[in-house]
Amino acid sequence: MHIVQGGKTQPDVDWVMLDALATIALAKKSSAIDLRGELEVAVIEMLTPLLSPPCRRPRAALEIALIHYRRGINALAVQNGVKTAEAHDHFKGAVHYMKLAASMPDYQKDLIPAKAMNCLAAFHENGMMCDNKLVDFHLLSNIRRHSSDFICPDVADYKTAFALRKIAAERGLAEAQWALGCMYSYGQGVDVCLTQAFRWLSKAHNNKAQLPTDHVFCIGHDLDFVIGRMRENQLMKPAEGKPCKRTARIISLSQYSRRRTLG
């Protein structure tokens, strides 16, 4: 649908976004690869006009980025030279649109630019980017598949990931606050600081309404773990630090890294 503004025809942003999101949901459910690809191409065509003024919707840029990311993951899973080059092109597109989304104003106060920064942080943290450049996957032999992420441990750039996550966390994104707390806890990209780990994990837990239930349980476990370490190091009195409800499933650092997917 389109509306007329100032004598010019402009897309009705809300309707276009709803249509695109419905199509994305349909594509994710489709088991037919060709149909899924056609739907994703249609979504990109729908959302592209929303990237330019006067629309400039960061949600449109992020959704396009995630489509490229998913297509890159699927191509890299084939593990041959042609598909690896194709994967690299899709990841390059994902990074481009993530950076675009991160640079846009947060029109609807829905933290989309912060989410884009958090996605870029995952690229650096998982070794998919180094020195702000995408890794050449066809030249990289040590790529491990974890869940829906590809992790290249030899080139993980934790310092850049930390800087990006800190900005996103300060803007109020619970997922980034959770990740930042864990990075302080394990010394990834920053010196270990249990006080800061407790601070950011507490913020993430307080913002749990932003997150799925299983993530809230995991944050509670991570927070309890940090509280225990602070007590062991006499950084917190036994009576301090309210314990959270733990899930029966224990989450290790390696499992935590696998959970940080882009969508």
Q: How many residues does the chain have?
A: 263
pLDDT attached to residue 148:
47
Q: Which CATH superfamily is domain 56-259 in?
A: Tetratricopeptide repeat domain (1.25.40.10)
pLDDT, residue 2, reads: 40
Q: What is the 3-state secondary structure (H, E, C) of 42-87?
A: HHHHHHHHHHCCCCCCHHHHHHHHHHHHHHHHHHHHHCCHHHHHHH
Phi and psi torsions of 251, nearest 5°: -105, 115
Segments making up each domain of the chain, as ranges: 56-259
Strands 149-151 and 144-146, by their bridges, are: antiparallel
Regions of the chain short of the pLDDT cut 70: 1-15, 31-33, 78-83, 130-131, 136-154, 237-263
DSSP-derived secondary structure letter, 1: -
Instruction: Identify the CA nearest to 174 among candidates 111, 113, 223.
Output: 111
CA dist list (Å): 14 to 3, 18, 39, 50, 58: 11, 6, 19, 10, 13
Q: Across-strand partners of 11?
A: 2
Q: What is the pLDDT of residue 198?
A: 93
Task: Give pTM, 2 decimals.
Answer: 0.78
